[in-house]
Amino acid sequence: MIRPSRLHRCESSITLFIAAVSLVPLTLVAAEEPVLDNGRAVYQAACASCHGSSGRGAPPSLLALDTPPPDFTDCDFANREPDSDWMGITYEGGPSRGFSEFMPAFQGALTVEQVQLAVNHIRTFCTDQRWPRGELNLPRPLITNKAFPEDEAVITTLIDAGGLGSILNKFVWEQRFGPRSQWEVVVPFGWLETVDVIEDDGSTRWSSSMGDIAFALKHAFYHNHEKGSIVAIAGEIIFPTGDDELGFGNGTTVFEPFIAWGQILPANFFFQTQLGAELTADKDKAENAAFLRCALGWTTTTGQFGRAWSPMVEVTAGREFASDADIRYSIVPQIQITLNKRQHIMFNIGVREPLNERDVRNSQVVFYLLWDWFDGTLLEGW
Ligand code: HEC
Shared-domain flag, residues 229 and 332: yes
For atom 13 of ligand 1, the residue with the nearest CA is 69
The answer to the question of residue 207 being in a domain is: yes
For atom 41 of ligand 1, the residue with the nearest CA is 47
What's the CA gap between 190 and 207, in Å, rounded? Answer: 8
What's the CA gap between 272 and 306, in Å, rounded? Answer: 24
The answer to the question of residue 129 being in a domain is: no
State pTM to two decimals.
0.88
CB distance 80 to 344 below 8 Å: no
Please state at what angle helix 39-46 crosses helix 4-29, rounded to 10 degrees. 140
CB distance 189 to 169 below 8 Å: yes
What's the CA gap between 200 and 203, in Å, rounded? Answer: 7
Shared-domain flag, residues 277 and 338: yes
End-of-domain residue from the set 101, 123, 145: 123
The answer to the question of residue 128 being in a domain is: no
Shared-domain flag, residues 139 and 108: no
- More confident call, 313 vs 35: 313
Shared-domain flag, residues 99 and 226: no
pLDDT interval class at 32 (50, 70, 90): low
Shared-domain flag, residues 275 and 149: yes
Q: Percentage of the chain surpassing pLDDT 70?
A: 90
For atom 36 of ligand 1, the residue with the nearest CA is 47
Strand 364-371 to 345-354 pairing: antiparallel
Q: Which helix (H) or strand (E) holds 271?
A: strand 269-280
> Who contacts 258 (Cβ-Cβ below 8 Å, separation ≥6)?
145, 233, 234, 235, 236, 274, 275, 276, 277
Q: What is the CATH number of the domain that holds 90?
A: 1.10.760
End-of-domain residue from the set 90, 123, 156: 123
- The per-residue pLDDT for range 78-121, each reduced to its tens digit, is 999 999 999 999 999 999 999 999 999 999 999 999 999 999 99
Q: What is the CATH number of the domain that holds 354?
A: 2.40.160.40
- More confident call, 1 vs 90: 90
What's the CA gap between 196 and 45, in Å, rounded? Answer: 74
Strands of 163-203, DSSP E: 166-177, 181-195
The 10 Å Cβ neighbour count of residue 157 is 16
Q: How many domains does the chain have?
A: 2
Shared-domain flag, residues 142 and 107: no
Shared-domain flag, residues 154 and 276: yes
- The per-residue pLDDT for range 215-226, each reduced to its tens digit, is 999 999 999 999
The answer to the question of residue 232 being in a domain is: yes
What's the CA gap between 46 and 40, in Å, rounded? Answer: 10
Write out the residue range of the structural domain in which residue 353 sits: 134-375
- Provide the terminal-to-terminal Cα distance of the chain, rounded to the nearest Å: 26
Shared-domain flag, residues 102 and 30: yes
- More confident call, 63 vs 262: 262
Q: Is 45 in the pocket of ligand 1 (CB under 6 A)?
A: no
Q: Is 47 in the pocket of ligand 1 (CB under 6 A)?
A: yes
Instruction: Ligand 1 pocket test: pick from 26, 97, 103, 151 the residue with the most ligand atoms within 8 Å of its Cβ.
Output: 103
End-of-domain residue from the set 123, 153, 185: 123
Shared-domain flag, residues 47 and 146: no
User: How many angstroms separate the alpha carbon of residue 86 from the centre of ligand 1?
Assistant: 9
Shared-domain flag, residues 107 and 164: no
- The per-residue pLDDT for range 289-348, each reduced to its tens digit, is 999 999 999 999 998 888 999 999 999 999 998 878 899 999 999 999 999 999 999 999
Q: Is 17 in the pocket of ligand 1 (CB under 6 A)?
A: yes
Q: Is 148 in the pocket of ligand 1 (CB under 6 A)?
A: no
Q: Is 46 in the pocket of ligand 1 (CB under 6 A)?
A: yes
> What DSSP character marks residue 173?
E
Mean pLDDT for the stretch of residues 193-213: 88
Instruction: Ligand 1 pocket test: pick from 21, 22, 50 the residue with the most ligand atoms within 8 Å of its Cβ.
Output: 50
The pLDDT value given to residue 67: 85
Shared-domain flag, residues 262 and 182: yes
What's the CA gap between 163 and 83, in Å, rounded? Answer: 47
pLDDT at 34 over 80: no
The answer to the question of residue 380 being in a domain is: no
- Closest atom, ligand 1, to C-alpha of 42: 38
The answer to the question of residue 254 being in a domain is: yes
The answer to the question of residue 48 being in a domain is: yes
Q: Is 86 in the pocket of ligand 1 (CB under 6 A)?
A: yes
For atom 10 of ligand 1, the residue with the nearest CA is 103
For atom 42 of ligand 1, the residue with the nearest CA is 103
What's the CA gap between 47 and 70, in Å, rounded? Answer: 12
Shared-domain flag, residues 144 and 279: yes
The answer to the question of residue 381 being in a domain is: no
The residues facing 332 across adjacent strands are: 314
Alpha-helical segments (H) within the chain: 4-29, 39-46, 48-51, 60-63, 75-78, 83-92, 112-123
